Amino acid sequence: MFFLKLRMYLLLIVLFAIIYSVVSMVAYAMGISNFYFYIIFSFLMLFIQYMIGPKIVEWSMGVRYIKEGEYSELRTMVANLAHAAEIPVPRIGVSEISLPNAFAFGRWAKDGRICVTRGILNLVDRDELRAVLGHEMSHLKNRDVLTVTLLSVIPFILYRIAFSILFYRRRDERSGSAVMLVGVAALILYFVSNLLVLYASRIREYFADRGSVKLGNPPHKLASALYKLVYGSARTPKEELRQVEGLKAFFVNDPSLAAKEFSELKQLDLDKSGAIDRQELNFLNNKKLNLSFGDKLMELMSTHPNMLKRIKQLSSYV
């Protein structure tokens, strides 16, 4: 975990160094007033996104918050995990979709929400569900939604700078060539920063997996839950997957990669039981992974780590 934390801190330094460098160049080339415009506009958009984000998630996923007397076991499980994590008990929602998954969101500590889909309730056992909920509880504890939202403003600022310079600024102005170079640099750094934000998202997933284990969930139970979620996602109709495409960063796994991931994960289920037990996870711990170039490229463009790497990391916690 030390190296994961070190990577996260270095990533934050790199991202903010990029935005500082670019806005400094823009301020020099275009004048300080433009600099203030981009910063104020970007943070205003960030604030709006942050405030209305939960409502968009609720509407998109058809979330219904459970009432007193409903889902008593689920309610008890979430309350116990929140107590162990030392955070306020989040609201609990259920989404009536068949895609098996869970997700957490909210604006601040007392606004936390954890939601499960009908699909996951019908797929995993009690201990596996608790491990998944522990993963989501760790996201809330670590304020990951806020972290990734704040980081996401950096590509947004770079995009606005590049777009304004390259498409709106008059080319006949004095120092136009230098300004255009700044625009091209901002566009390149926009793509680079997007990749870095995706990398940050993948690191947060590792942190949340570790957090679930710290909350008392056996690593093999979370590994088994991930295996089942991949299997369930691979069987979900493509029409339903398309409906939640824009929200997959919130999920425990990336449903769009499920078909490929399942073909890789089947090798871990040595006894073909449909689950991963402690011995099977131990077996993976002693095995070296050799990912193809395609796998590495696919992970580079994803909000979630490669699933084999992720379960391999879980095996080190046994």
Mind listing the pLDDT tens digit for each residue in 280-317? 999 898 888 888 888 889 898 899 999 999 999 999 99
> Given this model, what pLDDT does residue 32 score?
47
What's the CA gap between 205 and 16, in Å, rounded? 21
For 86-147, the DSSP string reads TSPPPEEEEE--SS--EEEE-SSGGG-EEEEEHHHHTTS-HHHHHHHHHHHHHHHHTTHHHH
Choose among 256, 261, 149, 247: nearest CA to 200.
149
What percentage of the chain exceeds 70 in pLDDT?
80
What's the CA gap between 253 and 265, in Å, rounded? 13
Neighbour tally for 31: CB within 10 Å: 10
Catalytic residues: 136
Range of the domain at 144: 2-315
Instruction: Compare 216 and 52 and report the one with higher pLDDT.
Output: 216
Q: Is 63 helix (H, G, I), strand (E, B) or coil?
A: strand
Q: Which residues pair with 63 in a beta bridge?
A: 95
Contact 186, 155 (CB under 8 A): no
Whether the pLDDT of residue 239 is over 50: the answer is yes
What's the CA gap between 306 and 89, in Å, rounded? 31
* 163-197 residue pLDDT tens: 777 766 554 454 567 677 777 887 888 888 888 88
For 217-275, the DSSP string reads --HHHHHHHHHHHHHHHHHS-HHHHHHTGGGGGGBSS-GGGHHHHHHHHGGG-TT-SSS
Q: Which residue has the tokens 């780590």?
A: 305
* 134-174 residue pLDDT tens: 999 999 998 887 777 667 767 777 777 777 777 665 544 54
- Counting beta carbons within 10 angstroms of the beta carbon of residue 34, is it exposed (0 to 12), middle (13 to 18) or buried (19 or more)? middle
Choose among 228, 210, 308, 216: nearest CA to 276.
228
- Counting beta carbons within 10 angstroms of the beta carbon of residue 210, is it exposed (0 to 12), middle (13 to 18) or buried (19 or more)? buried
Instruction: Compare 94 and 318 and report the one with higher pLDDT.
Output: 94
Number of structural domains in the chain: 1
What's the CA gap between 311 and 159, in Å, rounded? 35
Whether the pLDDT of residue 125 is over 70: the answer is yes
> Given this model, what pLDDT does residue 44 score?
72
Neighbour tally for 66: CB within 10 Å: 17
